[in-house]
Structure 1
């Protein structure tokens, strides 16, 4: 028994040392303690190491509650297909308000994951009273029961929403928000820039693209630029983007190391590809122990509107370095 206890202790100590090295080498002056592995990564993704970080009291969607009278959760009536100059054909309700789909939902089986403050900013479209016009296959219309028991309209299985900041017919201000919200094409697919409703290109969970000004930058599964925040701390790992900050800078959710291409995803004692357990309940992927974000101001793949914002936000390299940061 004594030998087994001693062996277990040595293994635990070695594991703790390895994690400290992985996420602490570039910031050797930070010596604070940290809980490791307090909760498993969602669906087992990430490197297998989760980190609990400091406390915060974030809020989301508060501003949206006071905007967009046209986005109220009222019946959609007879749907319509509008021809948008940039997006091609998009689905609207009977009042001409654009309908959206959310990447974090699922279509098979239909499931809505937008509740609480999210549903204030993105009001679900009720299923009752909705009908298909010419241009939409009526067999694609359906419904899903939400967590609160209400019935939400679905199109090809995808739950439909309006956007609180769309204030008049034809607005598409929700397009591309957070790299997860897209106007719906008549087929239920995403309406994309110049694509007339074509499905977005399939990419790994994290990969890279060559930016003409910044070089090789990390992008998410939708091709949206990924950023790091200079006010964050890599060790002890901490995100300082909370509350309203997260509305502009959504976190990048955990991505399995196998679902990456061109990313430094090894926790090899030099840099860490790990998942952070945030105090707001979100799980956030990191590279080189830097938490990852996208920018709500980026509307389409290739945008880098978040680059250099406030002198603290920078596109991130595959190794976790800030790109284009002044020396």
Structure 2
């Protein structure tokens, strides 16, 4: 009878745990437990990541701004006659007189215009000089302006936003700076971000190597961390410097998704106050080492980070 009672108790406990899974994704705080930052201990700096890391490799160190001092085609000082270039992934993108892509930085301000990219940041993202800048076809010249930088030089602004080039753009038409650090974006002709606006908040992209994977509204790959917990409620074990390198995907409406499994497709509030989206109750992230749509540099990093499948599973993770 004692053995029978023990078995019944275990069954009851299992049922109770299953019942608790309905709490997954509810708007509530969570506590982080266990170890964290596996494969994500290098500082991201907020300006860009690190050099590209292949599958299963940790990202290599860099100056933290998305470029390691390479200043190739991005260093032409004068803006020249600005033009509108059609990019297959981003739509209309603003370029300088040499066809180099121009960018804006989320940590800057447009009202009033102010650049917050100095020092090493300005080496990786050379400011575009305001001298001789003119508006080409499809550009409202009234949007062109200038801002005085801390060193006294005049920087071109578009719709109030200071304009930059990216040191890793080697030739006309390159957009290697798109999405770097989740803060750098190619400029649209009206000064707004050139992004994949036609994409839902979360959708599915067919990667040639990984198959169907989740991407965010900017087309950036979404990842899952094997150290996280999904049930009975989501718990993220990526905090502090880890979260700088692996930014949490913000909450999106179910109606703003396409191809994603609806079960467990909810948001939750982390202990740090950040609201994060989940897929099948698993917290979702992007990777600062992915610099443009289609990149999967976070795949396999530290043996704990994997692209997320539409059902929330980690694509390519070792089977237990």
Q: TM-score, normalised by structure 1?
A: 0.57
Secondary structure, in 3 states, of the residue corresponding to 2:314?
coil
Query: Which residue does the alignment assign to 1:321?
Result: 313
Give the whole-Å Cα distance in 1 for the aligned partners of 2:228 and 2:114: 28
Q: C-alpha displacement at 1:301, in angstroms? A: 3.5
2:306–2:317 Cα contact (<8 Å) kept: yes
Per-residue CA distance 1:36-68 (angstroms, 9 max, x = gap):
xxxxxxxxxx96445465799987337339965
Secondary structure, in 3 states, of the residue corresponding to 1:233?
coil
Query: Which residue does the alignment assign to 1:174?
Result: 177
Q: C-alpha displacement at 1:326, in angstroms? A: 2.0
Query: Which residue does the alignment assign to 1:295?
Result: 287
Q: C-alpha displacement at 1:98, in angstroms? A: 4.5
Q: C-alpha displacement at 1:260, in angstroms? A: 1.7
Equivalent positions of 1:242-321 (< 5 A) are 242-243=240-241, 246-247=244-245, 249-266=246-263, 271=264, 273-277=266-270, 279=272, 282-321=274-313
Give the whole-Å Cα distance in 2 for the aligned partners of 1:111 and 1:178: 24
Query: Which residue does the alignment assign to 1:139?
Result: 141
The answer to whether structure 1 residue 231 and structure 2 residue 227 are counterparts is yes
Q: C-alpha displacement at 1:286, in angstroms? A: 2.0
RMSD between aligned residues: 5.4
Per-residue CA distance 1:254-308 (angstroms, 9 max, x = gap):
2123322232345xxxx462223353x6432222332211234444444433322
Query: Which residue does the alignment assign to 1:42?
Result: none
**What are structure 1's unaligned runs of at least 5 residues?**
1-16, 25-45, 192-198
**What are structure 2's unaligned runs of at least 5 residues?**
1-16, 47-62, 72-76
Query: Which residue does the alignment assign to 1:203?
Result: 199
Give the whole-Å Cα distance in 2 for the aligned partners of 1:208 and 1:105: 29
1:272–1:287 Cα contact (<8 Å) kept: yes
Structure 1 residues 216 and 67 mapped into 2: Cα distance closer, same or farther (>3 Å)?
A: closer
Q: TM-score, normalised by structure 2?
A: 0.58
Secondary structure, in 3 states, of the residue corresponding to 1:285?
strand
Equivalent positions of 1:182-197 (< 5 A) are 182-184=185-187, 186=189, 188=191
Secondary structure, in 3 states, of the residue corresponding to 2:241?
coil
Structure 1 residues 205 and 237 mapped into 2: Cα distance closer, same or farther (>3 Å)?
A: same
Query: Which residue does the alignment assign to 1:21?
Result: 21
Secondary structure, in 3 states, of the residue corresponding to 1:64?
coil
Give the whole-Å Cα distance in 1 for the aligned partners of 2:169 and 2:295: 25
Q: C-alpha displacement at 1:227, in angstroms? A: 0.8
Give the whole-Å Cα distance in 1 for the aligned partners of 2:117 and 2:274: 15
1:237–1:289 Cα contact (<8 Å) kept: no
Query: Which residue does the alignment assign to 1:100?
Result: 103
Give the whole-Å Cα distance in 2 for the aligned partners of 1:19 and 1:152: 59
Q: C-alpha displacement at 1:168, in angstroms? A: 7.9
Query: Which residue does the alignment assign to 1:216?
Result: 212
